Amino acid sequence: MGVVEQMLNLIDRNRERALGGGINCIPSPFENFRNDFPGIEQGKYYLVSGATKAGKSQIATYLFLYAPILYAYNNPGKLRLKIFYFPLEEAPVKITLRFTAYLLYTMHKIRVSPMYLMSIQEGEIIDDRVRELIHSPEIQDILKFYEEHVYFMDDRNPTGVWKTVKRYAEEAGITHRKTVIIENKETGIKQEKQAFDYYEPKDPDEYIIIIVDHAGKVEQERGLSKKESIDKLSEYFMILRDHYKYTPVLLQQQNSDTVSLDAVKQKRVSPTYNGLMDTKNPGQDCSMMLGITNPKFFKIPDYLEYNIVKLGQYYRALEVVLNREGESNNVLSLYFDGATNVFVPLPKPNDTVSLEKVYKLVERNENRPLELSNP
């Protein structure tokens, strides 16, 4: 099948799917940012980057774990979903605790942290009411769906990640190959070789999301440096994107040491391609790079016209740093609650009435841990 025929088939298939009430991406939870980040698309490679304490893992799980799980749960029949999660930094139980805290907040207005759920601090033991809610059929049904669709994997090196996902791809579809002629320039001898042509999934509506958190924790391949190992993982991610139309998501740290004092004074602290730690190759390879910024980390009092002194740790800026198929550098300001992993778009900076409500919410968060509603 030629590339033009593949393109025309894709256009027609997407059109028919949309006309029939189906979807061509899992919608972004941020409706007012969908022109920039419409949602999770098949065959796209996403890079999520931020400095220390920016919330890379939190925004990545919010966008690429919570949102697709809850969309698939609430829209049965629209898509099938599998998430291969390679947690190189956190244990699966901790990731699941954060999701549970998120569900308690969004479903029941109960604001408790994963630490509270585990009764870690002396005198803060999870009470019967919260425990009963976790064991309620409503939340247990979602957690069962989550466990059936999220696969926490043990592989830590690039080849292990590649083999695990490719093994599934071979079971879930058919790889078509074509014969190509390779000519040796020195000898002039021509040889036939079988090359990849196209992949035919058994279920075109299945979304395969692959999350690696994060690049800096990737184990080095034998004989390769840390940079070369991350680059190898990124090469595999491009193949998974281009050949199988899978959706890789890589988290990568920003090198905060490269942010000069002058840059902080000018408030130029958002993630950049040049700021990627260890290697810039994932920035070249990805389809879209998302950046998350915490101006409080840099002790900036105001950012994008928002009062960071009042918002403190509850402010984050989400930016499309790179976009191979559209515009970039657009920013969405967010309210972020680290205890519950909730992100909500903030009112416009000139909407003083609505912002005052957010300031009061922030103040209540600091003084009372339970039963707070969304801003």
**Do residues 53 and 257 touch, judged by C-beta distance below 8 A?**
no
In the structure encoding, which two tokens stand for residue 330, read together? 């657009």
**Do residues 290 and 335 touch, judged by C-beta distance below 8 A?**
no
pLDDT value, residue 194 = 87
The number of helix segments (H) and strand segments (E) in the chain equals 13, 15
pLDDT value, residue 9 = 84
- Answer whether residue 166 is part of any domain: yes
Q: Residue 74: give the domain boundaries.
A: 32-291
Per residue in 243-255, pLDDT (tens digit) is 999 999 999 999 8
**Do residues 210 and 84 touch, judged by C-beta distance below 8 A?**
yes
**Do residues 242 and 197 touch, judged by C-beta distance below 8 A?**
no
Per residue in 107-165, pLDDT (tens digit) is 999 999 999 999 988 888 899 999 999 999 999 999 999 999 999 999 999 999 999 99
Give me the CATH number covering residue 262: 3.40.50
- Answer whether residue 14 is part of any domain: no
CA dihedral 270, 271, 273, 279 (to 10 degrees): 150
- Answer whether residue 37 is part of any domain: yes
Conformation bin of residue 280: beta by default, left when phi > 0, alpha when psi is -120 to 50: alpha
- Answer whether residue 296 is part of any domain: no
Percentage of the chain exceeding pLDDT 90: 77
pLDDT value, residue 108 = 94
Query: Quick check: 371 pLDDT over 70?
Result: no
Percentage of the chain exceeding pLDDT 70: 97
Query: Quick check: 374 pLDDT over 70?
Result: no
Q: pLDDT grade, residue 373 (50/70/90)? A: very low
- Answer whether residue 18 is part of any domain: no
Domain count, the chain: 1
pTM greater than the 0.85 cutoff: yes
Query: Quick check: 375 pLDDT over 60?
Result: no
pLDDT value, residue 132 = 96
Burial category of 141 from C-beta neighbours within 10 Å (exposed 0-12, middle 13-18, buried 19 and up) = exposed
